[in-house]
Amino acid sequence: MLSALLLSLREGVEAALVVGIVLVYLNRTGRRALSSYVWVGVLLAAAASFVAAILLQRWQVSEDGFEGLLMLVASALVVSMIIWMNRAARHLKKEIEQRVESYAQKSTRAAGWAIGFFVFMMVVREGAELILILRAVELSSAGVQVWIGTAIGIAIAIAVGLFFFQGTLRIPLHRFFKATSAILMIVAFQLALTGIHELSEAMWIPSSKTEMSTIGPIVRNEVFFFVVILGAAALVVLREWFSSKAPVADAEGNSAERRMREHAFRRQRVWSFAAALLCIGVVLSFAGEYVYGKVAAAPAPSKPLVAQDNLVRIPLTDLSDASLHFYSADVNGSVIRFIVIHKPNGDYATALDACQICGPAGYRQEGQSIICRTCGAAIYIPSIGESGGCNPIAVKSHVEAGAVVVDLSAIGDAASKIHS
């Protein structure tokens, strides 16, 4: 959620900055009548971005490899966005005004449509980048939280744009872009690391238990990156707090103005320090909760089954829900854990509580996904029983006389693949 908020805030402020510069320039040069074309361009860009979001949402990426590539592309886009804005920020206002002036030399209608198209292209570029990046963020976190964060970020960006150009809000833009750039680099790193993890999970690149167990818990733990981002925000705010200097007394200014500047300076320092303390407090609380949850977590208990004629049977009445059920059976003197689940399409899937990459660490269930305890990979329930990546190793089974029937030899054959 926080990553989505930051991304939408940054992209939204950039778009608002472009629109604001155009509107202010048109008003200042006596061409206020062309402002309506600017808003047409903004609305068309917003509509185009919305359509792109719907189309990308309908493109349900399910292969881990494709998800990984999308995340790597999104990470590159975040970095390029930061580099472009940091380079262009110094001359952005001048370049936009020159472009608008050249368009405004045409006839009224032609000038209006030219300016509107220019605004459309500038805003839709921000929208397209945001949609693509958010799609990648959504794949690595909770979708609803991503869109809530996006809505909040866009709303704040619109408010910042309005208040900034009306003069109500005075913020140094170079500091805003500098601070958000530092934090968004963490988001880019998260996307890149998650992309590499997805490619490893799909076995598109060489993978190992060590790599999966090291990177997996990091990229799958949203709290970790939430804490890192808040920590970075606290450091940025504290840096500004320590580097800020009291306003220099102006010999020509009156005492009332001097007191106002000093009051504003003290108030800014108090709010900055309070924001930094809040970030640090949240970081410490999340860190404590994570450590406690890590210690308290334990594998789910398994129900031991006794074989008859080398077969174990699980009544379908025990599998009526969509939950993951854990069982164990003695196969040639070794107790092997396995899972059974009633899938949404009506089929019953049986698999070991282990995978080829991470070994017998096992899984836990979270909603419509099961999570690998070693690397944190989320396995879509309908894919259980299929081979590849961090999917649990499939075990052959069939339904007979109101029960899921599993042959012990099938469990043994599947267990032989754990260390292969």
Confidence bin at 296 (pLDDT 50/70/90):
very low
Q: So what's the pLDDT on residue 328?
A: 93
- Domain with residue 310: its CATH number is 2.102.10.10
Domain boundary (220, 240, 269) is at 220
Residue 311 and residue 211 in one domain: no
**Cβ atoms of residues 65 and 202 within 8 Å:** yes
Q: Is 98 inside a domain boundary? A: yes
| Same domain (yes/no): 36, 184 | yes
Q: What phi and psi values does residue 101 have, to the nearest 5 degrees? A: -65, -40
Q: Are residues 310 and 214 in the same domain?
A: no
| Last residue of one domain, picked from the residues 195, 220, 245 | 220
In this model, does residue 304 exceed pLDDT 90? Answer: yes
- Does one domain contain both 344 and 216? no
Q: Let me know if residue 285 belongs to a domain.
A: no
Give the highest mean pLDDT range of 36-45, 81-90, 182-191. 36-45
pLDDT tens figures, 53-111: 777 767 665 566 677 777 788 778 778 777 777 676 667 778 778 888 888 777 778 88
Q: What is the pLDDT of residue 275?
A: 60
pLDDT on residue 301: 86
Q: Within a domain: residue 101? A: yes
- pLDDT value, residue 283: 57
pLDDT at 284: 61
The pLDDT score that the predictor gives to residue 276 is 60
Could you report the per-residue pLDDT of 97-146, keeping only the tens digit for each?
888 888 877 777 888 888 888 888 888 877 877 777 777 666 555 556 67
Between CA 199 and CA 73 the distance in angstroms is 13
Q: Are residues 345 and 204 in the same domain?
A: no
Are 192 and 323 contained in the same domain? no
Say what the pLDDT of residue 281 is: 64
Residue 105 resides in a domain: yes
Q: Is residue 293 scored above 70 in pLDDT?
A: no
Between 346 and 284, the more confident residue is: 346
The residue with tokens 């598109």 is 204
Query: In 10 A of CB 344, how many CB atoms?
Result: 10
pLDDT band at 221 (very low <50, low <70, confident <90, very high): low
Q: Distances in Å between the alpha carbon of 272 and those of 140, 263, 286, 357? A: 31, 14, 21, 46
Write down the pTM of the prediction. Answer: 0.52
Q: Which domain holds residue 96?
A: 2-220
pLDDT at 406: 94
Q: How far apart are CA 342 and CA 349, in angstroms?
A: 7
Q: Closest Cα to residue 153, out of 265, 2, 354? A: 2
Asked, for residue 368, whether it belongs to a domain, the answer is yes
Give the residue among 144, 125, 146, 123 at the shortest CA–CA distance from 134. 146
If asked whether residues 214 and 336 sit together in one domain, one would say no
Q: What's the total number of domains in the chain?
A: 2
CA distances from 78 to 72, 73, 119, 138, 345 (A): 10, 9, 21, 15, 39
Average pLDDT, the chain: 75
Confidence of residue 316 (pLDDT cuts 50, 70, 90): very high
Q: How many CB atoms lie within 10 A of CB 236?
A: 21
- pLDDT digits 0-9 by tens, 391-417: 888 899 999 989 999 999 999 998 888
Q: Is residue 276 part of a domain?
A: no
Task: Single out the residue in 191, 220, 249 at which a domain terminates.
Answer: 220
